[in-house]
A = this chain, B = another copy of it.
Amino acid sequence: MAGTKTERLIEALRDRIAARALGPGDRMPSIRRFAEQMKVSPSTVVEAYDRLAAEGVIRARRGAGFYVAESPPALRTLGTATTPKARAVDPFWVSRQSMDARAGSLQPGCGWLPEDWMPHEALRRGLRQLAKAETTVLTNYATARGSPALRRCLLGRFAAENLQATPDQLMLTASASQAMDLICRLLLRPGDTVLVDDPGYFNFRALLRAHQVEVLGVPYTRDGPDLVAFEAALAHAPRLYLTNSALHNPTGATLAPTVAHRVLGLAAAHDLTIVEDDTFVDLDPDPTPRLAVLDGLERVLRIGGFSKTLSASMRCGYIAGRADWIEALVDLQVATSFGGPSPVTTELLSSVLAGGGYRRYIADLHRRLNGARKTAVSRLAGLGITPWVLPRGGFYLWCRFPDGIDTGDFAQGAMQKNLMLAPGNVFSPSHSASRFMRFNVTQMQDPQIYEVMREVLG
């Protein structure tokens, strides 16, 4: 965040210290003399010294100037602390590699929009407003349930779907993932059985592994979970079913109303609780009733977040559900994280959400998504790769590869060429998706992606 002049000065000083031109315990040049020597202003030198002192490379002695530290920290650059490893194709394959991807790597496997697709101008406006906010917003803990403004906004959005929730049925969390984690902590015990979709969101499995529970996959059809398999799985007395029902991840399929009604009926008959992750809701151009809405939040807990259409940097999610569960989840969040999202984050998110600009941005985003989806489908067709279903919205395409290709091997090969993919078995508890791959159509503008894939296909 500092000017390049200061950065260059800091680098020059780091080099001298690393090369022992300035050794441990040596006095640093005086500010005035060094400023003259380097042809910069004294304030630039002060800033550089202050930052090196904050890093422990040099030390200030009261009234006696700056000295090179006796035991300076390692001076080598921390990019990602480790370079991406040759990981197994496991549930962490996509998350760790896309988070730690080096700049310039191609990422059709990642789960978010390119940064220039996000409403960054609105976020910048929000930050400038925040600089004038009441001090408490900048310095204090949030209330235990989180920002009233953002909760009011969410309750309003629920009401627009005909989901009437009361304020005590809603809490904010540090992320949608953390929302899911809190629910698992409240409702699961090691050894319990949990149903997920097969294929389904990979991080549900990583999370459930952390909870030491048995994971049972239910095949996902173009209309939702396979009802015969779902009913059969109930014989194992599962405690939870985790799903995202519209714009399902990874397939982009939509839960049909009839299937939704049947799933809820089966859940009621077997006292099964459902967690419905609605993170992709704003990417859905034509939302149909969700499980949470049909059920009225009795046995369905709705979770969601803002990372797909607002900002993944601002960590924030939510849980809506039975009031007694929410009260217990608030205590659990205090015990384990001392609260949820930052008030800075929630102020920023509510200011962007409440502005009229957000509606226009979303309408425009749907148009761009349709265009990008068409382009990706046609280019992939040229490689013999075809979508399993054509999603009505969102950025995912779940695609079938030509016969004889194992997408896990393919992804390992592509990674050597700096192309980060999301092979099917990452999403499949039964490892039955080795012919499939999830693509993100918004991350596929660069023609090089198709060239590299053609090479790897051989």
Contacts and interface: CB of A to CB of B under 8 A. Distances in A.
Interface of A: 1, 46-47, 49-51, 53-57, 59-60, 69, 71-74, 76-82, 91-92, 95-96, 98-100, 112-113, 115-116, 118, 120, 123-133, 135-145, 148, 151-153, 155-160, 162, 164-168, 170, 174-178, 181, 185, 190, 203, 206-207, 209-210, 307, 311-315, 327, 330-332, 334-339, 341-345, 347, 350-351, 353-356, 358-359
Given A130-B1, A356-B50, A73 B347 contact: no
Shortest 10 CB-CB distances between A and B: which pairs? A56-B156, A55-B156, A50-B356, A206-B335, A73-B159, A118-B139, A177-B338, A127-B131, A78-B148, A56-B159
Contacts of A54: 153, 156-157, 353-355, 358
Contacts of A113: 139
B78 A151 contact: yes
Given A56-B160, A79-B148, A151-B78, A112 B124 contact: no
B50 A354 contact: yes
A148 B176 CA distance: 25
Prevailing SS type, chain A contact patch: helix
Nearest to A119: B139
A40 to B, nearest CB: 16
- For A57, A354, A358, the residue with the greatest tally of chain B CB atoms inside 10 Å of its CB is A354
A144 B312 contact: no
Contacts of A133: 1
Given A56-B159, A137-B313, 13 more contacts: A1-B347, A47-B355, A53-B356, A71-B162, A78-B151, A92-B331, A112-B140, A115-B138, A120-B139, A139-B311, A185-B210, A203-B334, A210-B335
Given A127-B130, A315-B174, A335 B139 contact: no
A424 B179 CA distance: 32
B335 A203 contact: yes
A74 B155 contact: yes
A123 B99 contact: no
B315 A129 contact: no
A211 to B, nearest CB: 9
Contacts of A148: 77-79
Contacts of A338: 95, 175-178, 203
A381 B54 CA distance: 40
A49 to B, nearest CB: 8
A95 B178 contact: no
Nearest to A98: B141
A117 to B, nearest CB: 9
10 contacts: A1-B350, A47-B355, A59-B160, A127-B130, A128-B131, A137-B313, A177-B336, A181-B336, A315-B339, A342-B345
A144 B71 contact: no
A153 B316 CA distance: 26
A358 to B, nearest CB: 7
B95 A334 contact: yes
Contacts of A95: 144, 334, 338
A342 B342 contact: yes
Nearest to A164: B71
B80 A166 contact: no
- For A152, A203, A313, A331, the residue with the greatest tally of chain B CB atoms inside 10 Å of its CB is A313
Contact of A174 (B120, B143, B155, B337): B337
Contacts of A332: 210
Contacts of A353: 54
A177 to B, nearest CB: 4
A353 to B, nearest CB: 6
Given A130-B127, A332-B210, A314 B155 contact: no
Contact of A112 (B141, B157, B167): B141
Contacts of A100: 143-144
A48 to B, nearest CB: 10
Contacts of A139: 113, 115, 118, 120, 123, 311-313
Given A139-B115, A167-B74, A174-B174, A314 B342 contact: yes
Contacts of A314: 342, 344
B190 A57 contact: no
